[in-house]
Structure 1
Amino acid sequence: MSLRLPLFPLGTVLCPGCAMPLHVFEERYRRLVEDLLAGPKDAREFGVLTIRRGFEVGEGAALDYFDIGCSAVVDDVTKYEDGRYDLVTHGHRRFTLADLDTTGPYLVAYVDLVDEPIGDDAEEAASVARLVFARYQHVLIQLRDLRVVVGDLPDDPVQLSYVLSAAVVSPTFVRQRLLEIPDATARLIAVAGLMRNELLAMRAVPSLPATEVTRFGYTPN
């Protein structure tokens, strides 16, 4: 049976366990937040799908979405006098879109949750990915004075695969592909390859980052 989630399409990719702050100002998404706050505190969960074509804001702005997304859990809410909200959320669980209800004030998705298999040789893949990431972060600190993960990396291979997927410098469609990879081992291998490629690019042109890198946190689920 599909799970019903209010839907917040975004121009970014949310991974399970990774933090995502949101500033909510559009009327339809204010209504979404109000409905979440009206329910039980432990049920404040909504779906995030990455926009394939279109934009985040404006009527009918998002024209198409990727089929695999991630739910977000609301951790903290700040409401302003003019009706805007600041949310602190974190990614909770992957899903695939089954159906979409467009009749209400905001989009509602019917989703099927996706399993999180570890895959074969996860420990070896995690060990390699950790080593590559250590070099990757060291170069970022040296060249751009930027640390993309603050604190210790998670031990769990599934969580580690998502933290590194969110940390690596890559375009949105590449992050989406990482989210869609079926198991943690394959995701760790893929993200280690991306970090190696980015290390080569940064060393070749140290003053020109390939894409923007941002700091983020994660929350074990």
Structure 2
Amino acid sequence: MTNFIPVFPLGIVVYPAEKLNLHIFEPRYKQLITDCFAEAKPFGIPTVLENGVNEMGTLVEITEVVEVYDDGKMDIKTKGLQVFKMLELIKEIPEKLYSGAIVTYPENNMRQNNVMMAEIVLLVRELHRLLNIEKDFKKQDNELLSYDIAHHIGLPVKEEYVLHGLLLEAQRLKFIKNHLKKVIPVIANTESLKKKIQLNGHFRELGGFNF
């Protein structure tokens, strides 16, 4: 299926089911949000990388307009709906300040893999322990999907975008697992080095070598 949607390009990756709060201040996007909210229509957030609008994005719905300020700026809450692929960017729409796009919605497999997710959850918790972070995903472990944890494992935006383009849950989980397997040893070694440096100059109780 293809259709036309208004687009709000941003330098972030938004995933399906993700909740995203936005402060809207540019005139073109104030108009976009006003139009979409009045008509109960979603809009697209394609990812901007290296000063260009990329083809993959996520359709989002406005769940709440939290506040509208005197100057027309607004705070809104949104939720990701589904992944889209942009076929054509339409920079100018008659009588509108914002742009749009012709998009298609590729089939996106979201079938859970509890065995692989169990491994990943252990790795994520180890990563967060090393970083002294506590994260509540507000779901049981067996309910988690790749999208639920993708923003919480230290992926650069470029790699988040690569993950966004994977349309099988098993592929996304493998991508996440490979990332965690690479990054955790690096952080663990950094922690060991930090502790070693902190010990320098302190009185240390060390046993001598027995010949």
- Change over 3 Å in CA distance of 1:160–1:89 after alignment to 2: same
CA contact (8 A) 1:126 1:185 kept: no
The RMSD of aligned alpha carbons is 2.2
Once the two structures are TM-superposed, the CA of residue 117 in structure 1 deviates from its matched residue by 1.7
- Larger relative CO (CA 8 A, sep 6+): 1 or 2? 1
| 1:116 match | 108
Q: Does 1:91 align with 2:76?
A: no
Paired residue for 1:27? 27
**Pairs aligned (count):** 189
Unaligned 5+ residue runs, structure 1? 55-63, 208-221
Unpaired segments ≥5 residues, structure 2: 193-211
Deviates more, 1:126-135 or 1:5-14: 126-135
Normalised to the residue count of structure 1, the TM-score between the two structures is: 0.78
**Aligned residues with identical type, % of pairs:** 23
2 CA distance for matches of 1:71 and 1:19?
Answer: 12
- Residue from 118, 135, 139 that aligns with 2:130: 139
After TM superposition, the runs of 4+ consecutive aligned structure 1 residues lying more than 3 A away are: 153-156
Q: Secondary structure at the match of 2:131?
A: helix
Aligned pairs for 1:49-198 (under 5 A) are 49-54=46-51, 64-77=52-65, 78-104=67-93, 105-118=97-110, 122-141=113-132, 146-153=133-140, 155-156=142-143, 160-198=145-183
AA aligned to 2:5 is L
Instruction: Give 1:135's aligned amino acid.
Output: E
Deviates further, 65-74 or 8-17: 65-74
- Report the structure number with the largest CA radius of gyration: 2
Q: Distance in 1 between matches of 2:137 and 2:116?
A: 22
Which amino acid letter does the alignment assign opposite residue 130 of structure 1? Answer: V
Q: Normalising by the residue count of structure 2, what TM-score does the alignment of the two structures yield?
A: 0.81
Q: CA deviation at 1:31?
A: 0.6
